[in-house]
Chain A
């Protein structure tokens, strides 16, 4: 019984670790899309954040400065999307893809001198009171700061979005820009803030990967997780609370893939490697049965993006 509980908790916390960077991006992208803007460039922003965070941590020796620099790098690159989309009225899908490729290229180019550097990590909860809790202590101890910050972001975003006046206008902008305009506000301001927030969260997610989790920078190290996060926004129905189970679903399938292999389960590793994509996809399909008419909570303003793309 205790063995079973230990294995289950190991898996759960492994899922949380894998899910954290994705969760941060889902939260940011959900907020961006809530204002009626879709940004496919988050993967590129993550990469630039990861590289910048790692580089700054390596040069200054302070990983926290690295995390902050990563957030700024994410915001800076997201502003390219903002200028193209809000300033020039460019197609959002095309602009997002451009930002994605730009982030990959910039991070590869400027990251080269830092490959193989060794940086200090942010530490974890070991040697605090939580690591003394019986049974759970051994799992809570290794938790790192980016996991906690990302989890705390959920209630913060939720309160902002659903309990504040600014949050209401943010949402109304996503439903219909005309409403915001009729109320005497400029929807572009909200969309700009929303893109910047998405940039901040994806930059932070990059830092969670490079500065906190792996303490390493490798070209293209996000390996598609940013794009997965864009998909998971739909699974989470643009709701910060649902973002947690959606991201955990991905994290758990990722952890399960590796865990099953380490247990020596007799399933093809090729098949297991599809788990992180198969499971969220299945959940998406199942959970959206009957939701077609309502769009599953999609901000109405988003549909314009796809109409304009035709």
Chain B
């Protein structure tokens, strides 16, 4: 039997609650697919080698670097990008607090930061500042110095657990 290695392949997945299907070069990353095929440009590509965290999305409930996953590897997966999370009250609060607490300036890191923060609050509704720092430690921000981001996440968590 001869196995056939492909350079293009069909892929179908669910992105932000919508089924999508396409035929993609196997070389295309999930980040590239989300941005170029689906127009979800809150998924930012900074380093394209897994260092900066700007392309972080949730795949089947776990946060991942979408630049380190091939689009074809997401076959059948449920993907949530920063544009998604609709109806998730934690994400709503995080977006609001990022704005009011000045947790972004240029905004390049913000999508990845929000996904990581939302994932943290799902696992740990009342995280310590240390836990927040750990959760965003894989995300590079060159504007804020991080303090305002930690403040925003902490304040979103406290808002949830306030009586």
Do A and B associate with each other?
A: no
